[in-house]
Structures are given as structure tokens and as C-alpha cells.
Amino acid sequence: MTELFANPWFHWAFYTVLLISFALGAVMGLIYIERRGMGRMQSRLGPNRTGPFGLLQAVADAVKVLLKEDIVPANADKVVHWLAPIVAFVPVLLIFAVVPFMNGAMLADLNIGILYVFAIGSISSVGIFMAGWSSSNKYSLLGAMRDVASIVSYEIPLVLAIIGVVILAGSLSTNEIVKAQANIPFILLQPLGFIIFFAAACAEINRSPFDLLEADSELVAGFHTEYSGMKFAMFYLVEYAEALAMCAIISTIFLGGWQGPVLPPWLWFLVKTFGMFYVMVWTRTTFPRVRIDQLMALAWKFMLPLALINIVVTAIEVVIWPTPAGLPWVLIIVNFAVAGILIVTWSRLMKYGWGRVETTLR
Amino acid sequence: MALHTEPFILNIGPVHPSTHGVFRIRATLDGEVIVDIEPVFGYLHRGVEKLAEQRTYTGIIPLTDRMDYITSMSNNLAYVLAVEKLAKVKVPERAEYIRVIMAEMQRICNHLVAAGAFINDCGAFFTPFLYMFREREKLMDLFEMVSGQRLTYNYMRVGGVSQDLPAEFLPALRKFLKEMPAHIAEYERLINDNEIFLARSRMIGILPKELAINCGISGPVARASGVKWDLRKADPYGIYDRFEFDIPTGTVGDANDRYTVRIAEMKQSLRIIEQAVEKIPAGPVISDVPKVLHPPVGEAYGHLEGPKGELGFYLVSDGGIAPYRFHVRPPSLINLTALRQMLIGWKIQDAITIFGSIDITMGEVDR
């Protein structure tokens, strides 16, 4: 078996098949979790008719969507309209290449793994913009424009937030980052980084409360208003696969990935990933949606400065305590204190809660 | 270098998730900012006013149900108030109390829908909406007990109400009255201080007091702008002068004020219902009114403080069995008159929020 995996061709083939089937299968799981979880949170049942506990609902939906007619608007840019779902979907699948399921169990252990994630991850917004532009629908275009605006703004705090982790781990490789969390997950050492990263990730993958590009209360369905049938299913898949990828990345760099006692590593990884997704479902059912200028203000005025300060603080800490022996309790306490103080003072500094833009009286 | 941009026109509606029916806002946008809007309605016009002129006075009651289908009890009541004024019919004491209970229950019902839909328009994914519908469901069960219907009740009659309260109604209502304050507190706890909700609703879509008065805006929308005007106090109809309640008003007249005024009004309605349940006398529920009414020649305007504003019916009688002229003063339509002034300059997202905060029913706007 080991010599089989030593063969790079077999390694690639095995993990490619595994990753694609994992992505597709887990997306169904996510859809089930989201719909049932949201049902519970909203004091209703959620889908419970198809199969035991409604488990087959996602399958039924997939079959339904496959059988639907594919409608292309008359004025659409046909080629771009056709290409957009693919351009959006492929980069999301590519992210999984550097996600370690177990120690070294990944398609490619790139030494710049984290950089690769963000380089690849933002490509799918090109697909989303293509979809919005080619549909020749004003709602789609508005949704696509919002997506580009939010991606441009949120990439920066997103990447800055993990620099602290990279400093602590001393590596950009995702597997090395997980190994560096053998003692303690980085969420405890980087609470501020985690909060910024989580919020920015929600914006990056267009989850609530930053799901402006498909804001159903104003933009109908946003960029995929004009998509139907399998192409719509592709966008639906992109949405959840992106969420899955982001949750996998969060659990890798902040929650200790496959590290954990008792349970097998891959199970730990899955538990953490799905747990993160549940938090996203929770925020979705809890929060209203921010406005586009508030979204921008939050990114540039709140998250960007805090992410920069976080980097400086982490760098100083690493210089003072180069190799913390055992559990670095001092660091945990200091970091939580710093995070709390920074968030509170920054809110006070801006006079209004968490990056709120007070609209002026006309 | 200044980029040359051109405004473009976006048709919001008529079929759109947030237009609360078939309403169309033809918005001219500069990027995301609204430069101009033109409200287009009439998609749901059924000619209720003309239809009513061919029906007997009692036969019109089901038509009023279908105007504002969220608040059919209030519509029934406003209409029968007008007919009673026209035909000079006396209403038994017990019926008056039942009417007050029904009207205030309907107000809570409407405000639950309005507040839930408003937070939904702010972008919350259905959670507050469904929480509020949970309580609305209980109210609809209560309505079903008395009228047999869940949405279009057809319960009020000229001279009273169609049937007495069933035995199980008052205990069920008392149970509801006991539970509801906790639920209102729950909504307030969950959403009122939510930072995003405040950011989305505070200082948005301000309706100045003068504009509200000049446009004839009434109901919670006017009260949110600081106009202390409530027909239950200003022109007490029925037996409203016997109850003790406050008129909650807003300060700025923004979307958030309109929401908080509605929540506060629900509490006041609960107070009124509590008093009415305490004092409700026994007796007949409908006075002796002929089956086919022939009101004397003349005209009458009956109005009440509906959940959405002043709901009035203007009737002209020529002595026949049907009104010669039947006219409605729909609060939804008249509250929409300031829409343009409220929307211009805001972003599309705000437009949806502001529109949601006015709380209209298209069935009533178009009739």
C-alpha cells in the first residue's frame, strides 16, 4: 500500500477522485445540516419527508434540478453564460488540494499552501462576475458588482488575519500549520485573527450577514437570477463547496485540523469542519444583512487596522517568547486581552458600534 | 479623472420578493443610489368599490375582507361602523366589547406580520418572521374559533357580530394574553439591539412630521414621525373611550421608529384586550336589524384606527338595498404617497427596508 502511494500518479489519481467525491458528498451533508438546522432555529421542522429524517432531500433536489430545462436569456452572452458556472466551480475544487485530512493525507503538500488557497479562491469570483455580466439582467449585474467590491475589500483582512498564524507556525504549508498546533490550537493564540478571518471568510464566500450579492430581499437571487437547471445547480454547489472549503481552511489553521485526542484524525477534521459550518448557519439565521457601504466600512475601517495591529502584536510576542514551553498560558491570556481591548476601543473610537456608518440626515 | 456614469432604470417588481404583493417601483439608479422612483400600482385592482354598489349592505362585508387580507376584522368593523352611522343602528354592549377585542387582536396580528416582514426586508433570513408567525398562528386559531375562518373572517355584522364567542374562546384568549408579553420581550431581546439591524434601520427613510401630516399619513407610520394622532383617542368610536391605553410615538420618524412603534402598540393592544376581557358583559351580540337593510337617504363616513392607519368607508345611500356610492379611504395607499420623498437618495437596499417599514397590503392599495 505504502509503495503504491509512493507512486505520484497513483497518489494524484486517488486523491483527485477522493476530493471530488468528498466535495460533492459533503455538500449534500452541508445542505442537509443547513436546512434542518435552520428549521430548528426558526421553530419549524425543515425538510423531513424524503427518506429517514429528510436525509434524501438533497438527493431529491439534485435529481429535480437535473431534470429541469436549461433556459438561456435571449440577450445573454451565450458563451460566457455557459462558461461562468465552470469558472466558478473549478477553483473551489482546487482549494481542497491543500487541505490535510490526516497527517500528510492531501493531494499536494505545497510549501506555500495558504498562499495557494487565497490565490485560487478568489478566481471563482471571476466566474460569478461572468455570470452576472453575461445574463444581461440588471439584478444579476448589481449582484456581480457587489461581489467584486466585497472580494476586493475582504481579501485583504482575510490574508492579513492569517499572517499571525504563519508567524507562529513558521510555515505556509497547511500540513505544517496543523503540526504546529499539536499542543494548542491557534484559535486560542490568535483570537483576534480568528474573528477577523471568520468574518472576512463569510464575506468572501458570501454567507450571511455579508451575502449581498444574492440578497434575496432586494436582488431576487443576485448573479444567478437567470440561471436554471444544471447551471443553477452548479452555482448552488459552488456556494456550498466554497463554504466547505472555507470551513476546512478555518479548522486547519485555527482549530488544529486533524489534531485531537481519542477520535481518528480524519474524523476530527470532519467534526471541526462541519462544526464551523454550523456556526455559519447560526449566523445566517441570526443576523440581518449589512448594507454595501457598511460592508466596505467594516472591511477598511475596522478589520484592516485590527488585522495589522494583530500582526505587530504577534511579532512582538514571538520575539519575546521565542519557543513557549508546554502550554503558553501567558500568551493565551495576553492575546485574549489584546483582542478584547482592541475590539472595544476601536468600536468606541469610531463612535458607533462595530464599524457602523451612521447615515447622515439629509 | 472623473468617470462618466449614466443612470439606469431598474424595475423592482411587480413580482419581487420584497414588494409585499404586486407592486412595481420603477427606480432610476446611479450605481446603487436611487435618483428617482415612480411607484406603479393597480395590478391587483378588482373594482371592489364598483362591485359593492351592486350588493346588499350585508353582502359587502365579505368584499371588505378581501381588501386588506391581513386585517380583515378591522375592515369589517370599519365598514359596519359606517353602515351603522348611516342606518342609525344601535349595537349591544357585549358586541361592542367583542369588537374591541377582535380589533385589537387584529392589530397585534398585523403588527406581527409587519414587524416580521420588515426585519426580513432588512435581510434577516426569515427567523424573526417565523418567530412572529408562531404567535400569529395562535391568534388565527382564536379567530377561527369565533368565525370559522383563518384569514377572511366575515365576522362583523351591522348591529353587532355574527355569532357569540364560543365557550372555549375566553380561556384561550386569557392564555394568549399571559404568554404574549414574554414573546414580545423575546423579540425585543433578540433583534432590537442587534447592531446590524440598527445600522440598517436607524436614520433610514426619515419621514418628517410636517410631510407626514401634509401627505395625510396616519397610523403607526405617522406616529413614528411624532404625530400623536390616534382615532381611538381623537375620535373615539365604539366604546374606546372606556379603555386606558397610551399612544406610543417615535422621535425621528425613521424605519427603526416605525418598527418600535409597532412593537409598543402591540403591548398597548394587549392592555386594551385585558381590560375588555375583564369587563365583558353578558347579553345579546346583535341588535334587531332587518335582514335587508334600507338605510335612509343620506351619506355617512365611518372610520377607525386600523392597524395600518385611518381606515374609512364613505357610503351614500339612495334608500335602496345597495349603497349608491361606496368609497374607501385605504391607509395603505395614502401612506404610500410620501414614498418618493422617502426613497430618493438612499441605496436600493435601504429602499427595500423603507418600503417594508411602511407596511402596506397591495390588496388594499389597489382594491
* Per-residue pLDDT, A106: 77
CB A285 within 8 A of CB A41: yes
Interface residue B10 vs chain A (CB under 8 A): yes
Contacts with A209 from chain B: Cβ below 8 Å:
123, 196
Q: Measure CA A237 to chain center.
A: 14
Q: Do B196 and A289 touch (CB under 8 A)?
A: yes
* Per-residue pLDDT, A166: 86
* Per-residue pLDDT, B239: 87
**A135 has pLDDT over 50:** yes
Least confident segment among A259-268, B87-96, B248-257: A259-268
CB A184 within 8 A of CB A327: yes
Question: pLDDT category, B160, cuts 50, 70, 90?
Answer: confident
Interface residue B319 vs chain A (CB under 8 A): no
Q: In terms of Cα–Cα distance, which of A265, A214, A269, A262 is closest to A236?
A: A214
Does the N-terminal peptide bond of residue A209 adopt cis geometry, omega within 30 degrees of 0? yes
* Per-residue pLDDT, A356: 46
- Comparing A222 with A49, which gets the higher pLDDT? A49
Work out the average pLDDT over B98-117. 90
Interface residue B46 vs chain A (CB under 8 A): no
**Position A324, amino acid:** P
What size, in residues, is chain B?
Answer: 367
Helix axes B72-87, B93-121, angle to 10 degrees: 140
pLDDT tens per residue across span B23-76: 888 888 887 788 888 888 888 888 888 888 888 888 888 888 888 888 888 898
Q: Do A289 and B123 touch (CB under 8 A)?
A: yes
Largest Cα–Cα distance of chain B, in whole Å? 80
Taking the C-alpha atoms of residue B259 and residue B120, their distance in angstroms, rounded to an integer, is 12
* Per-residue pLDDT, B293: 82
CB B351 within 8 A of CB B343: yes
Sequential DSSP letters for A281-297: HHHHHH--PPPHHHHHH
Work out the average pLDDT over A172-179. 82
Strand order in the sheet with B310-317: B298-305, B310-317, B325-329
* Per-residue pLDDT, A359: 43
CB A209 within 8 A of CB A288: yes
Taking the C-alpha atoms of residue A289 and residue A351, their distance in angstroms, rounded to an integer, is 21
pLDDT tens per residue across span A82-122: 888 888 888 888 888 888 887 777 777 778 888 888 888 88
Contacts of B349 by beta carbon, 8 Å cutoff, 6+ apart: A212, A215, A218, A289, A291, A292, B32, B123, B200
Q: Do B196 and A44 touch (CB under 8 A)?
A: no
Does the N-terminal peptide bond of residue B14 adopt cis geometry, omega within 30 degrees of 0? yes
CB B226 within 8 A of CB B254: no
Taking the C-alpha atoms of residue A81 and residue B24, their distance in angstroms, rounded to an integer, is 28
Taking the C-alpha atoms of residue B126 and residue B136, their distance in angstroms, rounded to an integer, is 15
Question: pLDDT category, B347, cuts 50, 70, 90?
Answer: confident
Q: Least CB-CB distance to B352: which of A217, A360, A362?
A: A217
Please state the domain extents for chain A: 2-349
Chain B segment 148-177 residues within 8 A of A by beta carbon are none
Contacts with A142 from chain B: Cβ below 8 Å:
10, 32, 348
* Per-residue pLDDT, A362: 34
Q: Do B17 and A209 touch (CB under 8 A)?
A: no
**A326 has pLDDT over 70:** no
* Per-residue pLDDT, B129: 86
Contacts with A221 from chain B: Cβ below 8 Å:
none
Taking the C-alpha atoms of residue B162 and residue B61, their distance in angstroms, rounded to an integer, is 11
Q: Do B125 and A284 touch (CB under 8 A)?
A: yes
The dihedral through the CA atoms of A89, A94, A98, A102 has a sign that is positive
- B25: nearest CA partner in chain A: A218
**Best interface-test mutation with B: which of A43, A208, A283, A287 has the largest number of B CBs within 10 A?**
A287
* Per-residue pLDDT, B87: 85
Least confident segment among A246-255, A316-325, B12-21, B28-37: A316-325
* Per-residue pLDDT, A214: 66
Contacts with A217 from chain B: Cβ below 8 Å:
17-18, 120-123, 352
Q: How many CB atoms lie within 10 A of CB A11?
A: 15
- Comparing A239 with A259, which gets the higher pLDDT? A239
**A357 has pLDDT over 50:** no
Work out the average pLDDT over B270-281. 89
Work out the average pLDDT over B164-168. 88
> Is ipTM over 0.95?
no
Interface residue B196 vs chain A (CB under 8 A): yes
Work out the average pLDDT over A56-72. 84
Work out the average pLDDT over A255-268. 80
Q: Do A216 and B198 touch (CB under 8 A)?
A: no
Contacts of B326 by beta carbon, 8 Å cutoff, 6+ apart: B49, B52, B53, B60, B313, B314, B315, B316
| DSSP state, residue B319 | S
Q: Do B120 and A42 touch (CB under 8 A)?
A: no
Question: pLDDT category, B6, cuts 50, 70, 90?
Answer: confident
* Per-residue pLDDT, B162: 87
Q: Least CB-CB distance to B349: which of A41, A139, A218?
A: A218
Interface residue B17 vs chain A (CB under 8 A): yes
Work out the average pLDDT over B265-290. 87
Taking the C-alpha atoms of residue B357 and residue B351, their distance in angstroms, rounded to an integer, is 10
Q: How far is A125 from chain B (nearest CA, A)?
A: 20
CATH (residue range B49-359): 1.10.645.10
Question: pLDDT category, A354, cuts 50, 70, 90?
Answer: very low
**B195 has pLDDT over 80:** no
* Per-residue pLDDT, A216: 63
Q: Do B119 and A288 touch (CB under 8 A)?
A: yes
The phi and psi torsions of B316 (rounded to 5 degrees) equal -115, 130
Helix (H, G, I), strand (E, B) or coil at A13: helix
Burial class (CB in 10 A: 0-12, 13-18, 19+), A326: exposed
Q: Least CB-CB distance to B130: which of A42, A284, A360?
A: A42
Taking the C-alpha atoms of residue B119 and residue B359, their distance in angstroms, rounded to an integer, is 12
**A350 has pLDDT over 70:** no
Work out the average pLDDT over B303-324. 88
Interface residue B120 vs chain A (CB under 8 A): yes
Taking the C-alpha atoms of residue A295 and residue A262, their distance in angstroms, rounded to an integer, is 41
Taking the C-alpha atoms of residue B119 and residue B133, their distance in angstroms, rounded to an integer, is 13
| Cell numbers found for residue A118 | 487565497
Q: Do B123 and A217 touch (CB under 8 A)?
A: yes
Q: Do A288 and B196 touch (CB under 8 A)?
A: yes
Q: Least CB-CB distance to B203: which of A43, A142, A361?
A: A361
* Per-residue pLDDT, A327: 58
Query: In which residue are the cell numbers 338595498 written?
Result: B321
Q: Do A217 and B17 touch (CB under 8 A)?
A: yes
Contacts of A303 by beta carbon, 8 Å cutoff, 6+ apart: A154, A157, A161, A196, A199, A200, A355
* Per-residue pLDDT, A324: 56
pLDDT tens per residue across span A239-251: 888 888 888 888 8
Q: Do A139 and B10 touch (CB under 8 A)?
A: yes
Distances (CA, A) of A135 to A87, A110, A258, B105, B303: 15, 37, 42, 47, 50
Sequential DSSP letters for B72-86: HHHHHHHHHHHHHHH
Question: pLDDT category, A333, cuts 50, 70, 90?
Answer: confident
- Chain A, chain B: beta-carbon pairs less than 8 Å apart: 98
Taking the C-alpha atoms of residue A349 and residue A356, their distance in angstroms, rounded to an integer, is 12
The average confidence (pLDDT) of chain B is 86
pLDDT tens per residue across span B198-254: 878 877 888 888 888 888 888 888 888 888 888 888 888 888 888 888 888 888 888
Contacts with B350 from chain A: Cβ below 8 Å:
291
Work out the average pLDDT over A185-196. 84
Contacts with B120 from chain A: Cβ below 8 Å:
217
Q: How far is B250 from chain A (nearest CA, A)?
A: 16
| DSSP state, residue B280 | P
Contacts with B131 from chain A: Cβ below 8 Å:
42-43
Interface residue B126 vs chain A (CB under 8 A): yes
Sequential DSSP letters for A223-275: GGTT--HHHHHHHHHHHHHHHHHHHHHHHHHTS-TT--SSS-HHHHHHHHHHH
* Per-residue pLDDT, A361: 38
Question: pLDDT category, A218, cuts 50, 70, 90?
Answer: low
**A355 has pLDDT over 50:** no
Contacts of B128 by beta carbon, 8 Å cutoff, 6+ apart: B115, B116, B119, B120, B187, B190, B191
- For B266-294, letters b (16+ CB in 10 Å) and e give bbbbbbbbbbbeeebeeeebbeebeeebe
Percent of chain A whose predicted confidence (pLDDT) is above 90 = 0
CB A173 within 8 A of CB A110: yes
Burial class (CB in 10 A: 0-12, 13-18, 19+), A231: buried
Please state the domain extents for chain B: 1-45, 49-359
Q: Least CB-CB distance to A362: which of B345, B351, B352?
A: B345
